[in-house]
Amino acid sequence: MCTQKPPHDFSQQLYERYREAFNEYITSKVLPALQEKQGEYMLKELVKRWDNHKLMVRWLSRFFQYLDRYYIQRHNLAQLKDVGMLCFRDLIYIELKKTVKDAVLQLVDKERDGEQVDRALVKNILGIFVEMGMGGMEAYEADFEAHLLTNTAAFYSRKASVWIEEDSCPDYLVKAEDCLKREKERVGHYLHASSEGKLLKEVEKEVLAAYETQLLEKEHSGCAVLLRDDKTEDLGRMFRLFKRIPSGLPPVAEIFKKHVEKEGVTLVKQAEDTATQKKEAKAAAGGGKDAAAAAAITTEQVFVRHVIELHDKYLLYVAECFNSDSLFHRALKEAFEVFCNKGVAGSTSAELLATFCDNLLKKGGSEKLSDEAIEETLEKVPTLYL
């Protein structure tokens, strides 16, 4: 039928009838079967019909393979496989894509609310969106993904507006981390891998970026309270989550800096008060100027020891809670600069540290430390200025 000379070459008629056979079957059988069903039942019918259609395309294109090899190439026409796919796209996909998209989004929302859904069904349906792109992702992105992202933003906007009112900062962050984990898993179960970054970005925007200031400043559970109460696990989670959003970490680092600075200033005040009280007590007891000076020196040595301990504590925070992020190293350094530049009992911080080191080297300090402990302590002193 294809190798005879005109008018007995029926290549064109066969090609046209091939397309007509698909169109007739789709119009008379497939479309009515889909239109009479709704929701999940319609989705299951669509998967079945799509599988049947691919089987039909596979075998019919083999039967008329000769057209593919010669007639189609010579006339630069769509290959038989593509013709079969285009028939399904034009008559089924374009007609039902909105209804299908709405049904899938309904299932996604159900799963987000804790209900179990048929994940395999959703995965198969989304595979159709991908295949309708005929080698590209345009159909999936425009006809499904764009709506999924809008739907996701609306869903988590509603959730976050409730959480921010009802939950403490740590509880809110636990929920935020959990929903990000579940959305990532959702991609693995049935969404296309290319959706992951875009999907998580919507969640981060609605759950984290929109409420960062309120979360950090919550009266009884915000960042300053977590630092005060040494809630290292919650602080670590806070760092991980706010690192995900643009400019999410600077506000956390600023609160950290102010907290360390406040504790340092408190140490300075305590040392000043203690030194003053000891001087007055010695003077009243008739100890003279030398005794008062010795009391001041002892107080200053204690102050330096407390400063070193404070630095050790928050350097560990920087390492363990804030993943040694340079932003938090700088915040720690700037906080120490503020109160280390304040004098205690008439001495500068440099003089205090020098005296402290000299005292250690002479006699191990008042604590009678071992050589190893002395060396370890001396190594920490310069870090206060780094």
Residues 159 and 200 in one domain: yes
Q: Is residue 344 classed as helix, strand or coil in its secondary structure?
A: strand
213: confidence class by pLDDT, cuts 50, 70, 90 = very high
| Confidence check: pLDDT of 363 > 60 | no
| Confidence check: pLDDT of 68 > 70 | no
Residues 241 and 253 in one domain: no
Q: Judge contact between 192 and 137, C-beta under 8 A.
A: yes
Q: Which tokens in the block code for residue 32?
A: 């009515």
15 closest CA partner among 76, 80, 74, 69:
80
| Residue numbers of the domain that contains 310 | 249-385
Please measure the distance between the N-terminal and C-terminal CA atoms of the chain and give it in whole angstroms: 88
Residues 28 and 79 in one domain: yes
Q: Judge contact between 92 and 131, C-beta under 8 A.
A: no
Residues 217-235: tens digit of each pLDDT: 999 999 999 999 999 999 9
Residues 336-345: tens digit of each pLDDT: 888 777 666 6
Q: Is residue 220 classed as helix, strand or coil in its secondary structure?
A: coil
Whether pTM > 0.85 for this model: the answer is no
pLDDT of residue 296: 47
Residues 152-195: tens digit of each pLDDT: 999 999 999 999 999 999 999 999 999 999 999 999 999 999 99
Q: Judge contact between 302 and 371, C-beta under 8 A.
A: no
Residues 231 and 106 in one domain: no
Residues 268 and 205 in one domain: no
Residues 242 and 261 in one domain: no
Q: Name the strand (E) or helix (H) holding 89.
A: none
Q: Judge contact between 84 and 56, C-beta under 8 A.
A: yes
| Confidence check: pLDDT of 134 > 90 | no
Residues 149 and 206 in one domain: yes
Residue range 99-128: mean pLDDT, rounded: 96
Q: What is the dihedral of CA 350, 356, 359, 364, to 10 degrees?
A: -150
Residue after which a domain boundary falls, among 100, 129, 158: 129
> How many distinct structural domains can be found in the chain?
3
pLDDT of residue 81: 83
Residues 306 and 343 in one domain: yes
Q: Which residues of 130-146 are buried (b: 16+ CB within 10 A; e: fewer)?
A: bbbeeeeeebbbebbbe
Q: Judge contact between 122 and 104, C-beta under 8 A.
A: yes
CATH number for 229:
1.20.1310.10
Residue after which a domain boundary falls, among 212, 229, 246: 246
Mean pLDDT of the chain: 85
Residues 99 and 7 in one domain: yes
